């Protein structure tokens, strides 16, 4: 059996044999791979949308960044060969890699870096990290030297510059990247069969093309858990990163296959629309949080693969404090809080559920729990595009279940226009201090203060830290052992 609860908190990795015959597909083509994903991305430009599924296809494959985030969370050079950081931690001087071109033949240089960062922070930007880039000033020294000035101190900037929101785009083609992506990476878009798959093909013009072992990568979209199992058993896919945990029990015990349980920085939450009545009352939000039995949700939504969290931060992250005791499971307390808030039960709330299995399964569990305190939870299943436009974009929801996978996303609570509708001057002050804290000890203390405030404000019912499971043919090498960010680095894969 896979080791479930202990892996995430300790950072350990479990690799075990899993049962699936995996057909002859992988065996016959040593230069091709088929991967499966739960969600299809709405587009292929990670600077234009928040869906993590975009980066799962394009990051480090089509598009590249100045720095590269590795599986262990470390940062190494990519399009930047090296960098220097000033003593005040606000000035970054990057030496860029020479001999790099974009896939349309245009040169990669400092001007492209400036264009990309200025665009990401510009007035018309829809980049989800727009706030970060708006604080940056990028200066071209020469074609292969660029200086980035940050208004704030951000010890995580080199990591952020390796995320998908920080891709370097080619100015002439940038506006078309959603459907015709042009990057500097080892792969190009070969085909996008909407509703079915995306196919990438190795780019012959890549600077290190001879080192790329996988020449063709197909991403198949399979959201239904039963269909995921069927695809694995039939050998239709070679690897399924972040497969639904419920699939594992049906594919155990075959020595020809491998399973990897990975730690993550993801936070699965029952998100609450703080701007809607009666959810704008902290007592109501605390009642919802107290009605939720996290352990039962982890069992029901994630088949036990997860660790309880009490705030928007996870065990193992710098500055983590355990806040699970702030809003513990307590049905009677939840009833009293609703009464104190003057809420007449039954209170009907809609829980909007994206198509991910953890959300659909978790919705059933949470609805039953909320019923015990007089809240009638109406489950509303929506497709991913509907969730992105209606829930995330238009803030049209009461409650929703979602995993936020970004490692450094506390700043979203300082955005009054974010889809949560949370607006706290006290949190904003703390977060501003975090950004400008040069001493690690001060930063750690402030991070603890931020976590405790979010828990006390019951901004959401914080559920669990995710553990991701990858099921793959045992002969496929180079799979990430941890997942600090959602990527599928195809150039690292090979067949033994």
How sure is the predictor about 253, in pLDDT bands with cuts at 50, 70 and 90? Answer: low
Does the structure show a pLDDT above 60 at 319? Answer: yes
Residues in the chain, total:
496
DSSP β-ladder status, 216-221 and 239-240: unpaired
Confidence band, pLDDT 50/70/90 cuts, at residue 230? confident
Which residues, in sequence order, are CB contacts of 106 under 8 Å at separation 6+?
112, 170, 171, 172, 173
Q: By the 8 A CB rule, do 352 and 382 touch?
A: yes
Mean pLDDT of 324-338: 98
pLDDT, the chain, mean: 91
Question: 29 to each of 213, 238, 277, how far by Cα in Å?
Answer: 11, 11, 57
| Nearest-angstrom CA–CA distance, 63 and 401 | 30
pLDDT of residue 5: 34
Sheet strand arrangement including 145-150: 80-85, 91-96, 145-150, 136-142
Give yes or no for residue 155 having a pLDDT over 50: yes
Say if CB 318 and CB 330 are below 8 A apart: no
Preceding amide of 278 cis, omega within 30: yes
Residue 201 has pLDDT above 60, yes or no: yes
Q: Which residue has the higher pLDDT, 58 or 249?
A: 58
Q: What is the pLDDT of residues 411-467, one digit of tens each?
A: 999 998 999 999 999 999 999 999 888 888 999 999 999 999 999 999 999 999 998
pLDDT tens, residue by residue, 348-381: 999 999 999 999 999 999 999 999 999 999 999 9
What's the pLDDT at 22?
43
What was the pLDDT predicted at 251? Answer: 65
Query: What is each CA distance from 34 to 76, 219, 343, in whole angstroms?
Result: 27, 6, 52
Question: What is the spatial distance between Cα 286 and Cα 283, in angstroms, rounded to a whole number?
Answer: 5
What pLDDT, in 10s, does the model give residues 7-39?
333 333 333 333 334 444 444 468 999 999 999
pLDDT of residue 493: 96
> Residue range 112-123: average pLDDT?
98
Q: What pLDDT score was predicted for residue 154?
A: 87
Confidence of residue 151 (pLDDT cuts 50, 70, 90): very high
CB atoms within 10 A of CB 174: 18
Q: What are phi and psi of 130, to 5 degrees?
A: -55, -40
Please report the pLDDT score of residue 259 as a whole number.
Answer: 81
DSSP states along 7-76: HHHHT--EEE-B-----SHHHH-TTEEEEEESS--S-S-TTT---HHHHHHHBTTTB--SEEE-TTS-EE
The three-state secondary structure class of 325 is coil
Q: Is 379 exposed, middle or buried (0-12, 13-18, 19+ CB in 10 A)?
A: middle
User: pTM value?
Assistant: 0.80
pLDDT of 239 reads: 92
What confidence category does residue 226 fall into, taking pLDDT thresholds of 50, 70 and 90? confident
Of the two residues 240 and 256, the one the predictor is more confident about is 240
Q: What is the per-residue pLDDT for 261?
A: 83
């Amino acid at each position: 059996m896979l080791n479930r609860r202990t892996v995430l908190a300790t950072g350990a990795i479990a690799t075990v044999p899993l049962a699936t015959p995996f057909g002859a597909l992988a065996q016959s083509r040593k230069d091709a791979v088929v991967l499966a994903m739960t969600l299809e991305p709405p587009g292929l430009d990670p600077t234009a949308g928040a869906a993590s599924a975009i980066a799962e296809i394009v990051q480090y494959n089509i598009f590249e960044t100045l720095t590269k985030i590795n599986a262990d969370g470390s940062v190494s050079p990519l399009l930047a060969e090296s960098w220097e950081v000033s003593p005040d931690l606000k000035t970054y001087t990057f030496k860029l890699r020479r001999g790099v071109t974009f896939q349309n033949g245009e040169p990669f240089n400092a001007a492209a870096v400036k264009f990309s960062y200025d665009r990401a922070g510009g007035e018309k930007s829809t980049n989800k990290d727009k706030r970060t880039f708006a604080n940056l000033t990028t200066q071209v020294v020469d074609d292969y030297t660029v200086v980035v000035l940050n208004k704030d101190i951000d010890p995580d900037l080199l990591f952020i510059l390796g995320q998908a929101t920080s891709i370097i785009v080619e100015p002439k083609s940038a506006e078309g990247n959603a459907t015709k992506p042009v990057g500097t990476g080892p792969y190009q878009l070969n085909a996008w069969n909407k509703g079915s798959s995306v196919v990438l093909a190795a780019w012959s013009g890549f600077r290190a093309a001879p080192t790329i072992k996988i020449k063709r990568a197909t991403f198949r979209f399979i959201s239904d858990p039963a269909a995921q199992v069927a695809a694995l058993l039939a050998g239709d896919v070679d690897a399924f990163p972040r497969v639904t945990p419920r699939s594992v029990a049906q594919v155990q015990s075959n020595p020809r296959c491998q399973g990897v349980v990975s730690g993550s920085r993801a936070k699965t939450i029952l998100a609450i629309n703080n701007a809607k009545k009666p959810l704008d009352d902290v007592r109501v939000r605390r009642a919802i949080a107290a009605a939720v039995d996290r352990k039962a949700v982890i069992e029901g939504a994630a088949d036990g693969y997860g660790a309880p969290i009490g705030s928007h931060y996870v065990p193992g992250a710098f500055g983590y404090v355990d806040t699970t005791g702030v809003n513990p499971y307590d049905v009677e307390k939840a009833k009293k809080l609703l009464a104190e808030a003057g809420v007449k039960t039954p209170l009907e709330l809609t829980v909007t559920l994206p198509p991910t299995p953890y959300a659909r399964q978790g919705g059933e569990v949470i609805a039953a729990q909320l019923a015990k305190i007089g809240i009638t939870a109406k489950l509303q299943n929506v497709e991913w595009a509907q969730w992105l436009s209606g829930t995330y974009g238009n803030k049209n929801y009461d409650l929703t279940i979602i995993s936020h996978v970004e490692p450094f996303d506390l700043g979203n609570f300082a955005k009054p226009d974010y889809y949560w509708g949370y607006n706290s001057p006290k949190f904003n002050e703390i977060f501003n201090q975090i950004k400008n804290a040069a001493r690690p000890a001060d930063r750690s203390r402030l991070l603890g203060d931020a976590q405790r405030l979010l828990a006390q404000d019951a901004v959401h019912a914080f559920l669990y830290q995710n553990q991701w499971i990858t099921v793959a043919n045992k002969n496929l090498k180079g799979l990430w052992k941890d997942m600090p960010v959602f990527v599928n680095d195809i150039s690292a894969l090979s067949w033994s």
